Amino acid sequence: MPTIAAMLQHYAEQQQLLDFEGTMETDIAGVYFHRASKSSPRQPLIYNSGIIVVGQGHKVIHFNDHKIHYGAGDYLVLGVPVPLECEAFTDDNLPVLGIAIDIDPALLHKLVNQMAQHQSAAPLRECRQLSGVQSAKLDSAMEQVTKRLLAVLSNPLEADIFGEDIVKELVYRVLCGPQGHTLFGLAMHDGHYARIARTLSIMHSDYAKPITVEALAEQVNMSISSFHRAFKQVTYESPLQYLKKLRLAKAKTLITTHGTKANEAALLVGYTSPSQFSREFKRHFNKTPRDMLLQ
């Protein structure tokens, strides 16, 4: 069978995506194709939760105290959306290619329950590591299910018939792998990881509203000190720093995609002071809103 990179290239050719830049949803709901023809410098962004499989090229994710390198032959597991800084690199002048798979909560809970019934949920007892971003090497089972997913993507009928089942197996293979604890933690309703995940869901839907740490902690029934500690373990950020980066990312999208003026974007994402917004935007992206609009 061809390599994952070759199958992704074939998909791009078949779908006439050889000039496409970015990420787009495929015929299988929750499965996304990614392509970038050029390397990109280190820049702040928010990685959505999900499973990312790289077929070609490589990336470096930067945190305050460490880095995560991942590329062809690796997959990344994110249980929650995380603000981070990332740079991407093409290899041998070939485009960066990959796929991303959303993690459906209902599917995840069903799989975890089934595994628990069969005493196959050993990682469930090992969910002490709360980190929101982890990478791992593709083992044989993960590689094979990824290839089957890519194979059916090229056939709309087979994507419709088999796609959901293959995604189910892929999530199961992740649960069985070295980063399975991330997804097990997400499925534990009363665990700290799952509580922070619920908090992030609130923040992503209500980011433009006034939000306090006290209210967030109360909503997930945690003390403020425990909430702060768990939140930083999962996202590498304090709650207020996360909220600021989320608002700035949303503002950037409004400005670059919709041409929204800076003052209006500031108000739409929850800032009450346009001058504070401009200062923090420039500090975060190293560009003014006007520069971002003109690029």
CATH label of the domain that carries residue 257: 1.10.10.60
Give the tens place of pLDDT for each residue, 126-161: 444 556 677 899 999 999 999 999 999 999 999 999
- Residue 232 is predicted with a pLDDT of 92
In the chain, how long is the greatest CA-to-CA distance? Answer: 58
Are residues 105 and 201 part of one domain? no
Helices (H) then strands (E): counts for the chain: 12, 10
Are residues 72 and 116 part of one domain? yes
Alpha carbon distances (Å) from 187 to 80, 183, 196, 268: 12, 6, 12, 33
Sign of CA pseudo-dihedral 89, 98, 15, 5: positive
Domain count, the chain: 3
DSSP conformation class of 48: P
CB-CB contact of 56 with 95 (8 Å): yes
Which residue shows structure tokens 């779908």? 15
- Range scoring the smallest mean pLDDT among 19-33, 113-127, 141-155: 113-127
Are residues 147 and 124 part of one domain? yes
Give the tens place of pLDDT for each residue, 187-218: 887 788 899 999 999 999 999 999 999 999 99
Are residues 35 and 69 part of one domain? yes
Question: Quick one: what percent of the chain has pLDDT higher than 70?
Answer: 95
Domain that holds residue 226: 192-235
Are residues 23 and 120 part of one domain? yes
Phi, psi dihedral angles at 185 (to 5 degrees): -60, -35
Of 184, 204, 222, which closes a domain? 184
**Nearest to residue 246, comparing CAs of 212, 283, 214, 207?**
207
Over residues 278-283, mean pLDDT = 95
Of 149, 184, 219, which closes a domain? 184
Which residue shows structure tokens 């996360």? 242
Are residues 250 and 119 part of one domain? no
Are residues 264 and 176 part of one domain? no
Are residues 52 and 154 part of one domain? yes
CATH assignment at residue 158: 2.60.120.810
Are residues 124 and 32 part of one domain? yes
Are residues 114 and 229 part of one domain? no
172-189: b or e for each residue (b if 16 or more CB lie within 10 Å)?
Answer: bbbbbbebbbbbbbbbbe
Which runs of consecutive H residues, i.e. helices, occur in the chain?
Answer: 4-14, 105-117, 140-153, 156-176, 180-187, 192-206, 213-219, 224-235, 239-258, 262-268, 274-285, 289-294
CB-CB contact of 284 with 44 (8 Å): yes
Are residues 271 and 218 part of one domain? no
Are residues 227 and 151 part of one domain? no
